[in-house]
């Protein structure tokens, strides 16, 4: 029998136990960062609730890295797919979820905050308007939720640069004034805070009638490739300076 010193036993023990322990710790950390599967976001419609859970599971499989640039929002952000390729910057991650609302973003901020992103580009709010009848007070609540998202990130990840993008116009006339009101609240809240800046995306997508420019959308809400190119061209100088 070959004699083994205490140091040999220790090396073997580390080889066996440490990887398992590290894997368990990583799984525990990942699970802690994401909403629980039984969470119900009331402001989401039925499709949005199902898609939220599905995409959250996908995010768990590919978590963020430290110092990423994060595009955060709903289907309009999600539809941009690979933002790194669009903007020719390697560390951009897409955290858009189709059907998501401001409440849904608030519920999933732990991942964003934990990984201390270099910058966050937020676009959210249209589904809040779309899913439920709106009053002046409810529109104000949506705007304040957007402010809450930005402030939460800023307070818990102070080095993160935060950009709140105004809500895009849509083709349906009924939402025209609601979007204008919401965007004004976004701007007013930002003017009273030094925590984030506003990028007025609305201004480059709106036509003379206050609706989305037809050639930039395939259904009056979501963007086509020309629409995404329009968006990228507008924000590229900002992203390049990060």
Q: Strand (E) positions, the chain?
A: 69-73, 92-96, 119-123, 161-165, 197-199
In this prediction the pTM is 0.88
Task: Reduce the DSSP state of residue 125 to 3 states and report it.
Answer: coil
Residues 6+ positions from 237 with CB-CB distance below 8 Å: none
Q: Are strands 92-96 and 69-73 parallel, antiparallel or unpaired?
A: parallel
Region 29-42 average pLDDT: 90
Confidence of residue 3 (pLDDT cuts 50, 70, 90): very low
Cα atoms found within 13 Å of the Cα of residue 15, Cβ hemisphere only: 6
For 81, phi and psi rounded to 5 degrees?
55, -115
**According to the model, what pLDDT value does residue 31 have?**
83
What is the model's pLDDT at position 10? 42
**What is the mean predicted confidence (pLDDT) over 61-79?**
97
pLDDT at 7 over 70: no
Cβ atoms within 10 Å, residue 132: 14
d(CA 231, CA 223): 10
Predicted confidence (pLDDT) at residue 21 exceeds the cutoff of 50:
no
Ordered DSSP codes for 154-180: HHHSTT-EEEEEPPPP-S-GGGHHHHH
Q: Which of 156, 199, 157, 203 is nearest to 179 (CA)?
A: 203
DSSP code, position 121: E
Query: Looking at the predicted structure, is the pLDDT value of residue 27 above 80?
Result: no
Confidence (pLDDT) at 171: 97
**Which structure tokens are listed for 160?**
């993160």
Q: What is the pLDDT of residues 216-238, one digit of tens each?
A: 999 999 999 999 999 999 999 99
d(CA 63, CA 30): 8
Domains and CATH numbers, the chain: 45-240 (3.40.50.1110)
Query: How far is residue 222 CA from its own chain's centroid?
Result: 16
Handedness of CA 87, 89, 90, 91 (dihedral sign): negative
Residue 177 · residue 134 · CB < 8 Å = no
Lowest pLDDT segment from 25-39, 97-111, 130-144: 25-39
Strand order of the sheet with strand 197-199?
A: 92-96, 69-73, 119-123, 161-165, 197-199
Q: What is the pLDDT of residue 56?
A: 97
Three-state DSSP at 79 gives coil
pLDDT more than 90, % of the chain = 84
Nearest one of 187, 122, 197, 116 to 158, comparing CA atoms? 116
Mean pLDDT over all residues of the chain? 90
pLDDT at 132: 85
């Amino acid at each position: 029998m070959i004699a083994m010193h205490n140091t040999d036993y220790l090396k073997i023990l580390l080889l066996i136990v440490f990887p398992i322990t590290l894997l368990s710790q990583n799984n525990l950390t990942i699970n802690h960062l994401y909403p629980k599967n039984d969470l119900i976001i009331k402001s989401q419609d039925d499709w949005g609730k199902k898609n939220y859970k599905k995409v959250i599971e996908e995010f768990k499989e590919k978590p963020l890295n430290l110092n990423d640039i994060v595009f955060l929002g709903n289907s309009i952000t999600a539809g941009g797919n690979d933002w790194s390729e669009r903007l020719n910057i390697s560390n951009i991650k897409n955290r858009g979820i189709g059907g998501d609302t401001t409440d849904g973003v608030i519920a999933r901020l732990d991942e964003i905050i934990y990984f201390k992103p270099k910058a966050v580009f937020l676009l959210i709010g249209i589904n809040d308007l779309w899913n439920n009848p709106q009053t002046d007070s409810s529109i104000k609540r949506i705007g304040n939720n957007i402010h809450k998202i930005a402030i939460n990130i800023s307070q818990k990840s102070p080095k993160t640069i935060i950009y709140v993008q105004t809500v895009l116009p849509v083709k349906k006339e009924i939402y025209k004034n609601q979007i204008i009101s919401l965007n004004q609240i976004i701007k007013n809240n930002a003017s009273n805070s030094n925590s984030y800046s506003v990028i007025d995306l609305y201004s480059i997508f709106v036509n003379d009638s206050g609706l989305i420019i037809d050639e930039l959308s395939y259904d009056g809400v979501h963007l086509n490739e020309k629409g995404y190119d329009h968006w990228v061209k507008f924000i590229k100088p900002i992203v390049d300076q990060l």
